[in-house]
Chain A
Amino acid sequence: EDMLDEVVQKVITDRDTLTLLDLSLTHGVSEEAEDSNAVQNVLYAELCRNRTNNDKYVDGATQTLNGMPKVKKIQTNKNIVVDEGATATNWDLHDSYCEQKKTPEAHEADIQDLTASTGKGQDRTAESISGDTGNSVMTALVFSGLIITVTATRPDLEDVLMSDSFKSSLLVMERAVATNVLLAELAAYKNLPVDEDEEHLSTPTMKHLWVFVCDLTKGYKATSMAWSKKNSNILAVGYIAHDSKNPNPGLICCWSLKNPKWPERVYSCHSDVMSLDFSANNPSQLAVGMKDGSISIYSVNTEGETAEGSRKHLHPVMQVTWTKHQLKLSEKERQDVLVSVSIDGRITKWFLGGSGLDCIDLMKLKKIYDAKKKAAGGKKVEGNVLVPAIPALCFDFHPTEYGIYLVGTYDGLIHECSVSNNEQFLNTYKHHIGPVNHVEWSPFSPDVFLSCSSDWSMHLWQRGVSAPTMSFRSAYSEVHIAQWSSNSPALFAAIYKQWVEVWDLNSNIMFPTIVHHAAADVELTSLLFARDSDSVLVGDTEGQVTVYKLPNLRVGRTKKVKSLCNKNTCKHTDAEPQNKSIYVFFFIIFSWCVSFCTNSHSVLSGWLCRDPSNTLK
């Protein structure tokens, strides 16, 4: 038995070849001879001739026996056939191509991201790459080496919820849901045809559309609003906290029209926000003027908030605006310049210096002394005497002539100034008795502007004419803001404490066309016209910004305000009577009779009521 277990070595070798039979060619004719075939044919033919009559050759027959066929069966394993189909879609090819372009490190990073995102702390888990969207060829190859196990659903939920793409999907979805809710109102805002029968009311009213409000704005009042210059869906609203103990006294919210329930951006400021404006050149920059005199620029499009502080004004900044610089070559190159006006009487231009914002004074407002008083007093006002500065409350740059601007002051004067001259005013318009709260150039009529003040009145002025062309007084309350509409040349709105008035100068210059009262306990604080729609936004002390739609106020008959002004100025055209005394008396009687019948004559009567006051001056 031990012999059986022995390992015996056998060596198999190959033997040399043994030749058993070697048949060479009998004829000894080499095959390479050229005529070998011919020679052989001749020889063969001779042989066949010899055979026929020769006794040596005898014909014989043979038969081969065919064996019986036998059927033999074999069996093999079935070849397993699998049908595999793949659709090479356009995007699949694109994805594979992009994957291929990626470096191997990027691949590693991808794999690591996927393994890290699932099964936290567990070593050998990986998520299976689902194939329901179609595997691309490259990824199949790459991930073939991974261990595939199904992870628990608990970490799944968190990962999905925390991923960035989920957040962006949520945003889109929220906007979709919100716009669904507000479909009719948004269509009304955008002037799209809605199937409602339009009720022609005798008195036109503002229609309430929706409100921008959320939990964050409770306890604040809305003070200023501004549209983004590039994207007309974005609105920035500045807020002031009601009670001073609030850690965030100022708040800025950027709202989108698509979502009135939650602002797109929220920034809190260290001080009350008085005024906001978006830049036109860098549409994501928002300049904010605050109550403590500082100015910040927020960059709206980045993830974080970047605010740049500044050297301060001494007093609250009342208004900021971006305006075009005067000295550039073409329209497109004009850079925006930030200018602010504040209660310390300075109008300053800001620019980005080495460390934050820096400013240059464009103008300082000082008290104007009468020439007579100066001569009588014998004192000279220049030099060492400290001249008290006058608070400036508002300003506005001319829409076409860059460099000319108006300033409204606390003592009721409106100064017209130029950027290039920081000592003297070009012109002063004096008619208001109280502080001028708002001045604005008309966006349609050149050289016409509107001013409103706390002396309960609003005046319409023409540049160069020292007396107001028209005055509007309808209520015994301070006018906070009066703004021109950006769509109709003769439409403007004014905010009083408790109500909004909309004046349509085409129809009636004595009374406002629409008066809308706020709810009780709520005071209205800010106003803004919508740029591409007939709507007006009103902010109030509850922190709400309400959007109202204005009815179409005789859009067909819009005349420019200048033509109305022409009737009222002392320069009469041919249509008006030259001989004032007789004709004026006549016309007053006539128009009073007629004005009871039609509304259109109110324009004429308004003119006539103004005329006596003009002649008195």
Chain B
Amino acid sequence: MKVDVEGTLKRIESYKGVIGTIVVNAEGIPIRSTLDNSTTVQYAGLLRHLAAMARSSVRDIDPQNDLTVLRIHSKKYEIMVAPENNYLLIVIQNPCE
């Protein structure tokens, strides 16, 4: 299935209420972001560890399972993190706009 990566990313960014998307590499350095630098670095740093812990918990229970998306729904908005071995995809959305 040919997924157009750029097109899909642009589409995600154009959905109603999406505040920003960040792609972080394995070392925690943001490689693509639609937010300003300081916010990006903050999000990247904080969410990396959280996602790793979540992944560790999921896999501890059943090692053949794996974490696909971690969604943190807070009062103001929702942060969705998709962790993988060599990157981290973060989308922040405000669904009630």
- A residues apposed to B, CB below 8 Å: 89-91, 93-95, 127, 130, 132-134, 153, 156-157, 159-163, 165-167, 169-174, 176-178, 180-181, 183, 261-262, 265, 303
Q: How far is the CA of A169 from the CA of B68 in the complex (A)?
A: 7
User: Do B63 and A91 touch (CB < 8 A)?
Assistant: yes
* Given A95-B63, A159-B86, A303-B1; 18 other pairs, CB 8 A cutoff: A90-B59, A91-B59, A133-B56, A157-B32, A160-B25, A160-B86, A167-B5, A169-B68, A169-B69, A169-B84, A170-B3, A172-B69, A177-B15, A177-B18, A178-B15, A180-B93, A180-B95, A181-B15
Give residues 43-60 of B contacting A (CB, 8 Å). Answer: 48-49, 52, 55-56, 59-60
Give residues 1-50 of B contacting A (CB, 8 Å). Answer: 1, 3, 5, 8-9, 11-12, 15-18, 23, 25-29, 31-32, 48-49
User: Do A174 and B11 touch (CB < 8 A)?
Assistant: yes
Question: Which chain A positions have C-beta within 8 A of B31?
Answer: 153, 156-157, 160
User: Do B59 and A181 touch (CB < 8 A)?
Assistant: no
Write the nearest CB–CB distance from A233 to chain B, whole angstroms. 17
Write the nearest CB–CB distance from B85 to chain A, whole angstroms. 8
Residue of A95, A133, A177 with most chain B CB atoms under a 10 A cut-off: A177
User: Do A160 and B95 touch (CB < 8 A)?
Assistant: no
User: Do B93 and A177 touch (CB < 8 A)?
Assistant: yes
Question: Which chain B positions have C-beta within 8 A of A89?
Answer: 56, 59-60
Question: Which chain B positions have C-beta within 8 A of A161?
Answer: 5, 23, 32
Question: Which chain A positions have C-beta within 8 A of B95?
Answer: 180-181, 183
Q: Which of A134, A169, A180, A262 contacts B78 (CB under 8 A)?
A: A180
Closest to B49 in A: A132
Number of interface residues of B (CB under 8 A): 43
Write the nearest CB–CB distance from B97 to chain A, whole angstroms. 9
User: Do B60 and A90 touch (CB < 8 A)?
Assistant: yes
- B residues apposed to A, CB below 8 Å: 1, 3, 5, 8-9, 11-12, 15-18, 23, 25-29, 31-32, 48-49, 52, 55-56, 59-61, 63-64, 68-69, 71, 78, 80, 82, 84-87, 89, 91, 93, 95
15 A-B pairs (CB sep. < 8 Å): A89-B60, A153-B25, A160-B31, A160-B87, A162-B5, A166-B89, A167-B8, A170-B8, A170-B9, A170-B12, A171-B3, A172-B68, A174-B8, A174-B11, A180-B93
User: Do B15 and A176 touch (CB < 8 A)?
Assistant: no
Question: Which chain A positions have C-beta within 8 A of B18?
Answer: 177
Write the nearest CB–CB distance from A274 to chain B, whole angstroms. 26
Closest to A179 in B: B95
Question: Which chain B positions have C-beta within 8 A of A166?
Answer: 5, 84, 87, 89
User: Do A91 and B17 touch (CB < 8 A)?
Assistant: no
Q: How far is the CA of A130 from the CA of B9 in the complex (A)?
A: 26
User: Do B56 and A153 touch (CB < 8 A)?
Assistant: no
User: Do B32 and A132 touch (CB < 8 A)?
Assistant: no
Write the nearest CB–CB distance from B78 to chain A, whole angstroms. 6
Write the nearest CB–CB distance from A257 to chain B, whole angstroms. 16
Q: Which of A95, A160, A261 contacts B15 (CB under 8 A)?
A: A261
Known: A94-B64, A166-B89, A167-B3. A134 touches B16 (CB 8 A): no
Q: How far is the CA of A172 from the CA of B78 in the complex (A)?
A: 15
User: Do A180 and B1 touch (CB < 8 A)?
Assistant: no
Q: How far is the CA of A150 from the CA of B8 in the complex (A)?
A: 30
Question: Which chain B positions have C-beta within 8 A of A153?
Answer: 25, 29, 31
